[in-house]
Amino acid sequence: MPNNYFGEVFFGVEASDSFASALNDAFHALEPKWQNGIFTGDNLITFGKNLSFQLDAPFMQALETHATKKIEKSIVWRTAMLVWAARNGLRREGALVECGCYRGISARIICDSVDFNATGRDYYLYDLFDYPEGSAHAAMPDMGPSLYDEVVERFSAIPRARIIKGFIPDILHVQAPEKIAFLHIDMNGVAAEIGALDVLFERVSPGGMVVLDDYGYLPYRAQRDAERAWFAQRGYDVMELPTSQGLVIK
């Protein structure tokens, strides 16, 4: 039987005993056969699932090694989806690319899960790392003068990881791969994400994987609408996943 997985972070819910108590009551009301495979976290509450990511030993080991914060542990299903997409993308030509790598945790988990050093590929990781006052880009709590160096150190064992600081899409015209097997976009802003697609999508190999973070989250509806329209103009339909991500296979 699958194990349960309890993440603690729910966006839009303040830590409260009443919320936890309500979840506990709901799970105790389940028939015994449905009390396994429970998942909570990242605004997902499920039960009776196989939770097959728990059988992925390289992934679970990488998660244990690199996910040190509650939020990083709670978005485990989202991260497992990225690992799945990266593995399948590696069946195609090109580099791996992440626009909005932030602390580099999900990308580092991918590297360990797929034995990235053995692939002979490049991994391009873009971010501002620091937050210029008044910038239209989304600010994140750990952004600051030291974040770039922290991410460089995090990937010190991955020689072909390229940690690139700059505004998107501007920096993409300076440094970007010609072919892409896996593209992950996570910048929480319409202009930056559409700008990244304008430059990079044509470089994604046929059959390559594109994952749009936050595509399914209601507070990012404008981002969803813009990306949905962008892909529709090119004949693609974005799959919204329960993990909040959008998925396109080129």
Give the CATH number of the domain where residue 188 resides.
3.40.50.150
pLDDT tens series, the chain, 250 aa: 679 999 989 998 876 678 888 888 899 899 988 989 999 999 999 999 999 999 999 999 999 999 999 999 999 999 999 999 999 999 999 999 999 999 999 999 999 999 999 999 999 999 999 987 777 777 788 889 999 999 999 999 999 999 999 999 999 999 999 999 999 999 999 999 999 999 999 999 999 999 999 999 999 999 999 999 999 999 999 999 999 999 999 9
Q: Domain check: are 139 and 38 in the same one?
A: no
Distances (CA, A) of 167 to 4, 50, 59, 121: 40, 40, 31, 24
3-state secondary structure of 226: helix
Q: Which helix (H) or strand (E) holds 62?
A: helix 57-66
Q: Domain check: are 105 and 217 in the same one?
A: yes
Q: Domain check: are 10 and 103 in the same one?
A: no
Q: Domain check: are 144 and 126 in the same one?
A: yes
Beta bridge partners of 127: 165
Q: What span, in angstroms and rounded, lies between the C-alpha atoms of 228 and 210?
A: 13
Q: Domain check: are 28 and 99 in the same one?
A: no
pTM above 0.85, yes or no: yes
pLDDT score recorded for residue 1: 63
What domain range is 34 assigned to? 5-46
CB of 83 closer than 8 Å to CB of 114: yes
Q: Domain check: are 126 and 178 in the same one?
A: yes
CB of 24 closer than 8 Å to CB of 36: no
Domain-located, residue 96: yes
Q: Domain check: are 10 and 73 in the same one?
A: no
Q: ω into residue 159 within 30 of 0, thus cis?
A: no
pLDDT score recorded for residue 76: 98
In the chain, the number of structural domains is 2
pLDDT score recorded for residue 84: 98
Q: Domain check: are 30 and 136 in the same one?
A: no
Residue 51's Cβ-side half-sphere holds a number of Cα atoms within 13 Å equal to 22
Q: What span, in angstroms and rounded, lies between the C-alpha atoms of 144 and 130?
A: 4
Q: What span, in angstroms and rounded, lies between the C-alpha atoms of 59 and 113?
A: 5
Q: Domain check: are 121 and 31 in the same one?
A: no
Domain-located, residue 51: no
Longest distance between any two alpha carbons in the chain, whole Å: 57
